[in-house]
């Protein structure tokens, strides 16, 4: 095999390997979202960008996961913004809308308790 053929084969293998890593990270991130491991899913989504484009469903999961993590930290206003972004990605899916309403209600309830939510 000539050096040119060897280089072409290495390049083809690298492209194939990057594609596989991209797909693995996408599906693993989706799996982590499904089992409510949002922080780990966010890490995988950040890594995916290095290997290729992020599809619309992954962007939706990214916004939804970030919103849920913000709610866990009682940052209801930011959570609401992330849910709005997720809802814009898939308007027919009512989950982000419902979570946005919950975050707004919690924000209001939290402020009535005398806490600041800045």
**pLDDT at position 114:** 62
Q: How many domains does the chain have?
A: 1
The answer to whether the beta carbons of residues 95 and 64 sit under 8 Å apart is yes
**DSSP conformational letter for 117:** -
117 within domain boundaries: no
Chain centre distance of CA 76: 18
81 within domain boundaries: yes
Take residue 21 and report the two structure tokens written for it: 């890593």
In whole angstroms, what is the distance from residue 49 CA to residue 44 CA?
Answer: 9
The enclosing domain of 77 has a CATH number of 1.25.40.10
- Domain of 86? 3-112
> What is the pLDDT tens value at each position of the chain, 118 positions in all?
678 888 778 888 888 898 999 999 999 999 998 899 999 999 999 998 888 888 898 999 999 999 999 999 989 999 999 999 999 999 999 999 999 999 989 888 777 766 555 5
């Amino acid at each position: 095999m000539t050096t040119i053929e060897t280089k072409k084969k290495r390049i083809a293998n690298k492209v194939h390997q990057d594609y596989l890593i991209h797909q693995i990270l996408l599906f693993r991130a989706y799996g982590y979202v499904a089992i409510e491991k949002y922080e780990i899913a966010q890490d995988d989504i950040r890594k995916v960008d290095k290997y290729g484009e992020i599809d619309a469903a992954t962007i939706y999961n990214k916004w939804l996961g970030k919103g849920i993590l913000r709610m866990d930290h009682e940052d209801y206003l930011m959570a609401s913004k992330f849910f709005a972004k997720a809802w814009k990605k898939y308007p027919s899916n009512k989950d982000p809308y419902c979570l946005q309403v919950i975050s707004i209600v919690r924000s209001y309830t939290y402020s009535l308790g005398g806490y600041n939510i800045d």
